[in-house]
């Protein structure tokens, strides 16, 4: 049995994983969704890692699953304690010494984001619309449930911390990206993953919030039940 420690992105809300967890439990595994101290203006990357590490304590076979901003924090835990695997989902991949604030410019995110909007026929200069950006492929009932909970606050504090590791931890790492992620476009993620970790990307159907739009498919991927030939977003 694997214990999946589920690390959310910006906002730090464990509720993001609510639709994924039942699929993992049903298949005989454990899943712990982590609430991060995202609203705490004193909490930096180390504090986030402390919370994640505490969630993993007492569990022998641990896989860290990191969404979006979680790419900055999950590897810090893997450097502190044994983990079986890191799985990044539409995640930021940092370089040693890089802050989250600098990551955007260093990776060329703005240009890639605008290019994706133009390719989709959307206005890259328009006002940022979180529904169109993040929820375009999420079922309406899930959108309504998520929005009814209110928008979690994310402090800028952890984005100011230089990423403290000198290298990515020596832990098996998989990277998955949504084929239709509008926020972190697929080609952008492929470039960053190859440049920073020398790893390919497994392409899954969906946008930025795969755990909301494709929870069953994501569970299948996490359990490595998807044939390699199906990891292009077109398989079952």
Q: Can you give the pLDDT at residue 166?
A: 98
List alpha helices for the chain, DSSP H.
21-26, 45-56, 74-78, 100-107, 109-120, 130-134, 140-148, 186-197, 210-213, 215-222
Q: Which CATH number fits domain 3-230: 3.30.1450.10, 3.90.420.10, 3.20.20.450, 3.40.50.1820?
A: 3.40.50.1820
- pLDDT-based confidence at 234, cuts 50/70/90? very low
From residue 204, give the alpha-carbon distance in Å to each of 43, 80, 88, 95, 96.
Answer: 32, 30, 12, 25, 28
Give the separation between CA 94 and CA 8, rounded to whole angstroms.
Answer: 16
The half-sphere exposure of 3 on its side-chain side, counting CA atoms within 13 A, is 16
What's the average model confidence in pLDDT over 3-7? 98
* Average pLDDT of the chain to the nearest whole number: 94
Give the separation between CA 34 and CA 22, rounded to whole angstroms.
Answer: 15
pLDDT in tens, 187-220: 999 999 999 999 999 999 999 999 999 999 999 9
> What is the domain partition of the chain in residue ranges?
3-230
As given in the structure block, the two tokens for residue 61 are 């076979």
pLDDT in tens, 88-147: 999 999 999 999 999 999 999 999 999 999 999 999 998 999 999 999 999 999 999 999
pLDDT in tens, 28-41: 999 999 999 999 99
What does pTM read for this prediction? 0.94
């Amino acid at each position: 049995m694997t214990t999946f420690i589920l690390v959310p992105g910006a906002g730090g809300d464990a509720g993001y994983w609510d639709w994924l967890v039942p699929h993992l439990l049903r298949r005989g595994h454990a899943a712990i969704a982590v609430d991060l101290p995202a609203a705490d203006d004193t909490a930096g990357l180390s504090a986030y890692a402390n919370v994640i590490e505490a969630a993993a304590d007492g569990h022998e076979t641990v896989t860290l699953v990191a969404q979006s901003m979680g790419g900055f924090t999950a590897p810090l835990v893997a450097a502190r304690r044994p983990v079986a695997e890191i799985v990044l989902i539409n995640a930021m991949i940092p370089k040693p010494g890089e802050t989250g604030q600098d990551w955007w410019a260093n990776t060329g995110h703005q240009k890639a984001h605008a290019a994706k909007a133009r390719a989709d026929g959307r206005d890259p200069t328009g006002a940022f619309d979180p529904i169109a950006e993040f929820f375009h492929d999420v079922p309406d009932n899930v959108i309504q449930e998520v929005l009814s909970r209110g928008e979690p606050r994310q402090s800028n504090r952890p984005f100011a911390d230089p990423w403290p590791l000198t290298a990515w931890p020596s832990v098996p790492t998989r990277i998955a990206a949504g084929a239709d992620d509008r926020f972190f476009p697929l080609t952008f993620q492929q470039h960053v993953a190859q440049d920073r970790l020398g790893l390919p990307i497994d392409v899954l159907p969906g946008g930025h919030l795969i755990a909301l739009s494709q929870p069953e498919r994501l569970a299948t991927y996490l359990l490595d039940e998807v044939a390699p030939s199906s990891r292009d977003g077109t398989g079952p």
